[in-house]
Chain A
Amino acid sequence: MGSVQVKNLVKKYDKAIALKGVDLDIKEGEFYALLGPSGCGKTTTMRCIAGFETPTSGEILIGDKVVNNVPANRRNCGMVFQSYALFPHYNVFENVAYSLTIRDLYSGSLGQRIKTFGRLMSKRLGKPTKEIEKKVQDALDYVELGHLADRGVNELSGGQQQRVALARALVMEPSVLLMDEPLSNLDKKLRNTMRTTIRKIQQDLKITTIFVTHDQEEAMSMADHVAVMRDGEIVQMATPTELYSNPKDPFVADFVGSSNIYKGQVLKKNEKGNTVVKITDEIVLESETHTDKSEVEVLVRPEGIEIIREASTPKTENVVEAKVKVSTYLGPTIRYDIELDGMDVMVEEEFQPNTALYKEGDIIKVHLPSERVLLI
């Protein structure tokens, strides 16, 4: 087990700069997600940590040791590949046993090594040791594949292959577990179960995990910490809740959830200590965010906006009139696309069986609570 630190990591290719100085500080036992759009350098970062790419500059530390010059096979990073990269010529058991067998190959007497080598070449040339057998069986039981040990890996479903890949990485008791978009090849339902499985295993084993994804929902629901990347740089590093409620810039805000973002001008502070911003002549809002800037981006999450119905208590500030353009029923929530003085705004409301849905053209009143109006 170990912490991972990446300091000012730069990776240049002939024609492209993939990483422009990435810093990461991952504590032991943490579940860390790297989130970002395609091509932003997530895979490159991970491959540098695993040792498959040599950084152009920068330092990588695993468990307080600089590993820049440690070859990939001695870094003890368990990696789960996007394509699983299972060995097609080995069955499930042999796949999972590979790292342990290799470990035997590099230790012990010459005779034993020759035996181990034979075992790697063909299962007919030798039996695994009791110790390996037990560890592998445990690992397989752990991912609920104990009964499939003798299967060929091509005779497994996608989800099963995924779990074999996971068991294969876990059995070597890696100091860090690296996963590159491990769920992207699975269908939505399986993805949800695997999310829980991976999170549970990570919590059980308290294993430092770096998880690459471009799916914000995945990152936010699984990780302790999320690093959002863009163009080879880390834009923000924070816990999921902080990232959501306090994004550093519009890119992050947009990337970690759907949002309404507008340009605004800061007018003054009012008597409550709230900042007053003007978005259009008609729409002037109060916000609890403090800012020194005069031009800001105003961000309001769709579910932060309340629709005022007769029954609810009257609000005074931040209440505006709007026109419903489209209403979409999403199951547990309803989404309204509304128009506020010429601006398109998205609102999400929980579905309640006994309230009526608004239709296109309805005029409604909405309240934007000052604590939900973020200025960035």
Chain B
Amino acid sequence: MSSVNQDKQPKKDTKFRGWLRTIDSLKVMKWVVYLFFFLFLVLPLVSVFLVSFTGQPVNLLGSLVNPDIMATNIERLSNASFEHYSLLLGGTYFSALQNSLALAIGVSILVILMCIPLAYAFARTTMPYKKTLAALCTIPLIVPTFISAAGFIIMFGRTGWVNTMYQSLGFDGVLIDAYSMTSIVLIQVFFFFPFALWPMVAAFKIADISLEEASNNMGAKNWSTMVFITFPLAIPGIISAALLIFTVSFSDFGTPIILAPDGLNLIVVEAYREISGFFNWAGASILTIVMVAVAAIFFWLQRYVTKNMDYGTLSGKPKGTKLNDSKIVTRSLLVFTILVLVLPMSAIFSVLLQSFATTWGTGLLPRGFTMDHYATVFTRSGDNILNSILLAGGALIISVIVATLVSYFVVRENTSKLDFMSSIPLIVPGIALGIAYIQTFNTAPLQLTGTAFLLIVAYAVRRMPYMIRSTMGTMMAIKSDIEEAAVNLGASKLVAIITVVGPLMLPGIAAGSILVFVTVIKETSITVLMAPSDWAPMSLMVFQNLLRGEVYTASAMAMLIIVLVIILQTAANKITKNSLY
């Protein structure tokens, strides 16, 4: 028996190898990438779409392998109707959509109003401490919104220090209720404004300086030039920023899930409850479709505006901008900027204080200070820290591999289909992606719901566009002849990519990876929806502790996340700035 085997094996081996040699390893990789996007992006979205009509689970993969399942599916599909969509016309879904739209529109408008003076200050004046303020203005972006929400509770909760102060001034009740639409709006405005600020600064900088000079030459006053020339020229940039804020606000999960009061229906919270509370397939899928549709429309609008904008602004490079150095203007803008920063900074500072507090009741300050919570975090929740790192690491590996290959195929082989597919996650809010995954991978043949693997894939897919943006840039900078040289010297295309293209892409990959790692650690919606309990990451821990009222350890853990994020983000910026070659 064994001798026969020994005789046969080498033969088989060479045959197999001969066969292996005939296939192009790179083509195989391309199919693997396609399969990845098909399985983990197209399939879940299509499934959810179908479920929204059938109201019952649709197992597309199962249909392919099992005729019985196929039969059930066909029957369910034949009963498909718009019936479930009628839910949207009235009742809770309708009010949820209404509220979410109102929230997103309100937040966008407020952010733009707030950012106009800020952007002007950064782009067109000699406001003092510009650098420091610019750095401070990016901090709100670093903080995950559920942590900002925690900070708000510390400030505006019933015993919060701001409300305490307010009462000690002789007022009754509370200044702002932490659990209200107002506080959700405030958090989103003050923590999302940097998303709009920097594009608007760019728009203000770019607006045609020569036109302004002409206007001034003709005797117009500075302020009228500002109102009639500068501002209108920056309008496309401003609209684009507003649309971006709309999408961010609309899909934000961290703030509403913590702060939305019982009476306030928001679409993300509603969808979350439907899927994780009631297992309502029909409802969850309809809300998912609505969320994706709204995000897609606004995403498309934003692209459209930006695209048209580029034509107008490419006309010429502004030569040395003349900055406004009027004392009154710069001083008042300085005050305004500082005022804008007060709220987010105090929220973060409150979390910091609480993480060191023994207890913090109704007083303005904690009773005493201790390191205990950090000790608790490290002893009791060491696993969560490890989980976060492992999950983020896993997501990172997947996204590095996929993003590198996608960039390669898009840049070198003009595979625009992949380019399009890999940008789809931009329009899928986290909670929507989570619902689609849970519903799709619920049963055999690919039963993955509740596994860490699916969570990792979800993280990777969600952040793929950012990774790809980063790798695509460096890929374009690598001339194809370097790769051809490697092939010419004997390397197969795949080996050439791994040994030559890969290392040259390292700066892009490194920067992209850190960003992916950071966002995964901050990620709330997918985590809360999909994390299995034995794989709970830090963000889930903070979230659960907040709900359970273990606010001190939640704060300590939150601070840990913030510090980690700041360190990693700085590293990423360093890498992108002085790329290796």
Residues of A that sit less than 8 Å from B by CB: 50, 52, 71-74, 76-79, 81, 83, 85-89, 98-99, 102-103, 105-106, 120-121, 154, 168-169, 172
Residues of A contacting B312 in the complex (Cβ-Cβ under 8 angstroms):
none
Residues of A contacting B487 in the complex (Cβ-Cβ under 8 angstroms):
52, 72-73
Q: When A85-B481, A89-B504 are in contact, do A102 and B489 touch as well, CB less than 8 Å?
A: yes
Residues of B contacting A78 in the complex (Cβ-Cβ under 8 angstroms):
488-489
Identify which of B486, B488, B581 contacts A88 (C-beta below 8 A). Answer: B581
Q: Which 4 A-B pairs have the closest CB atoms?
A: A99-B489, A85-B485, A85-B481, A102-B490
Identify which of B485, B488, B490 contacts A87 (C-beta below 8 A). Answer: B485
Does the CB pair B495–A105 fall under 8 Å?
A: yes
**Is B173 in the interface zone, CB < 8 Å from A?**
no
**Is B491 in the interface zone, CB < 8 Å from A?**
yes
Closest beta carbon of chain B to A42's beta carbon, Å: 16
Q: When A85-B479, A89-B504 are in contact, do A172 and B499 touch as well, CB less than 8 Å?
A: no
29 A-B pairs with CB atoms under 8 Å apart are A50-B488, A72-B484, A72-B487, A73-B489, A73-B491, A73-B493, A73-B496, A74-B490, A76-B490, A77-B488, A78-B488, A79-B484, A79-B485, A81-B481, A85-B484, A85-B485, A87-B485, A88-B482, A89-B500, A98-B486, A99-B489, A102-B490, A102-B491, A102-B499, A121-B499, A121-B503, A154-B581, A169-B489, A172-B490
Residues of A contacting B481 in the complex (Cβ-Cβ under 8 angstroms):
81, 83, 85
CA–CA, A78 and B487, complex, Å: 10
For B504, give the chain A residue with the smallest CB separation.
Answer: A89
Given A87-B500, A172-B490, 20 other A-B residues pairs in contact with their CB atoms under 8 A: A52-B484, A71-B492, A72-B484, A72-B488, A73-B489, A73-B490, A74-B490, A79-B485, A81-B481, A83-B479, A85-B484, A87-B485, A89-B581, A102-B489, A102-B495, A103-B490, A120-B499, A121-B499, A121-B503, A169-B488
For B490, give the chain A residue with the smallest CB separation.
Answer: A102
Closest beta carbon of chain B to A108's beta carbon, Å: 14
Residues of B contacting A87 in the complex (Cβ-Cβ under 8 angstroms):
482, 485-486, 500
Identify which of A81, A86, A99 contacts B490 (C-beta below 8 A). Answer: A99
Residues of A contacting B580 in the complex (Cβ-Cβ under 8 angstroms):
89
Closest beta carbon of chain A to B502's beta carbon, Å: 8
Does the CB pair A73–B488 fall under 8 Å?
A: yes
CA–CA, A105 and B487, complex, Å: 14
Residues of A contacting B581 in the complex (Cβ-Cβ under 8 angstroms):
88-89, 154
CA–CA, A172 and B487, complex, Å: 13
Does the CB pair A89–B503 fall under 8 Å?
A: yes
CA–CA, A110 and B435, complex, Å: 44
CA–CA, A254 and B125, complex, Å: 64
Closest beta carbon of chain A to B21's beta carbon, Å: 9
CA–CA, A295 and B488, complex, Å: 49
Does the CB pair A172–B492 fall under 8 Å?
A: no
Identify which of A76, A81, A154 contacts B485 (C-beta below 8 A). Answer: A81
Closest beta carbon of chain A to B438's beta carbon, Å: 39
Tally A-B pairs: CB < 8 A. 73
Q: Mark B512-535, 1 if CB is under 8 A from A, else 0.
A: 000000000000000000000000
Most buried by B among A78, A88, A172: A88
CA–CA, A163 and B490, complex, Å: 20
Closest beta carbon of chain B to A151's beta carbon, Å: 15
Residues of A contacting B488 in the complex (Cβ-Cβ under 8 angstroms):
50, 52, 72-73, 77-79, 169
Q: When A87-B500, A88-B581, A102-B495 are in contact, do A172 and B482 touch as well, CB less than 8 Å?
A: no
CA–CA, A121 and B504, complex, Å: 11
Residues of A contacting B490 in the complex (Cβ-Cβ under 8 angstroms):
73-74, 76, 99, 102-103, 106, 172
Q: Mark B10-52, 1 if CB is under 8 A from A, else 0.
A: 0000000000000010000000000000000000000000000
CA–CA, A103 and B490, complex, Å: 7
For B499, give the chain A residue with the smallest CB separation.
Answer: A120
Residues of A contacting B484 in the complex (Cβ-Cβ under 8 angstroms):
52, 72, 79, 81, 85
Residues of B contacting A72 in the complex (Cβ-Cβ under 8 angstroms):
484, 487-488
CA–CA, A78 and B484, complex, Å: 11
Closest beta carbon of chain A to B486's beta carbon, Å: 7
For A106, give the chain B residue with the smallest CB separation.
Answer: B490
CA–CA, A142 and B34, complex, Å: 48
For A77, give the chain B residue with the smallest CB separation.
Answer: B488
CA–CA, A169 and B485, complex, Å: 9
Does the CB pair B504–A73 fall under 8 Å?
A: no
Does the CB pair B489–A85 fall under 8 Å?
A: no
Residues of B contacting A106 in the complex (Cβ-Cβ under 8 angstroms):
490
CA–CA, A85 and B495, complex, Å: 17
Residues of B contacting A77 in the complex (Cβ-Cβ under 8 angstroms):
488
Closest beta carbon of chain B to A70's beta carbon, Å: 11
CA–CA, A81 and B499, complex, Å: 19
Does the CB pair B499–A88 fall under 8 Å?
A: no
CA–CA, A102 and B493, complex, Å: 12
Most buried by B among A50, A81, A169: A81
For B580, give the chain A residue with the smallest CB separation.
Answer: A89
CA–CA, A73 and B24, complex, Å: 12
List B458-503 residues whose CB lies under 8 Å from chain A. 479, 481-482, 484-493, 495-496, 499-500, 503
Residues of B contacting A76 in the complex (Cβ-Cβ under 8 angstroms):
490
Residues of B contacting A154 in the complex (Cβ-Cβ under 8 angstroms):
581
CA–CA, A85 and B483, complex, Å: 8
CA–CA, A150 and B495, complex, Å: 24
For B500, give the chain A residue with the smallest CB separation.
Answer: A87
Residues of A contacting B503 in the complex (Cβ-Cβ under 8 angstroms):
89, 121
Residues of B contacting A81 in the complex (Cβ-Cβ under 8 angstroms):
481, 484-485
List B113-155 residues whose CB lies under 8 Å from chain A. none
For A81, give the chain B residue with the smallest CB separation.
Answer: B481
Q: When A89-B504, A89-B581 are in contact, do A73 and B492 touch as well, CB less than 8 Å?
A: yes
CA–CA, A52 and B486, complex, Å: 12
Does the CB pair A85–B482 fall under 8 Å?
A: yes
CA–CA, A121 and B495, complex, Å: 11
For B488, give the chain A residue with the smallest CB separation.
Answer: A79
For B489, give the chain A residue with the smallest CB separation.
Answer: A99
For A78, give the chain B residue with the smallest CB separation.
Answer: B488
Closest beta carbon of chain B to A11's beta carbon, Å: 16
Residues of A contacting B24 in the complex (Cβ-Cβ under 8 angstroms):
71
Most buried by A among B485, B493, B496: B485
CA–CA, A86 and B484, complex, Å: 11
Residues of A contacting B485 in the complex (Cβ-Cβ under 8 angstroms):
79, 81, 85-87, 168
For A83, give the chain B residue with the smallest CB separation.
Answer: B481
Closest beta carbon of chain A to B478's beta carbon, Å: 9
CA–CA, A172 and B488, complex, Å: 10
Closest beta carbon of chain A to B475's beta carbon, Å: 15
Closest beta carbon of chain A to B434's beta carbon, Å: 36
Residues of B contacting A98 in the complex (Cβ-Cβ under 8 angstroms):
486, 489, 491
Closest beta carbon of chain B to A308's beta carbon, Å: 55
CA–CA, A220 and B119, complex, Å: 65
For B491, give the chain A residue with the smallest CB separation.
Answer: A102
Closest beta carbon of chain B to A179's beta carbon, Å: 12
Residues of A contacting B486 in the complex (Cβ-Cβ under 8 angstroms):
87, 98, 102
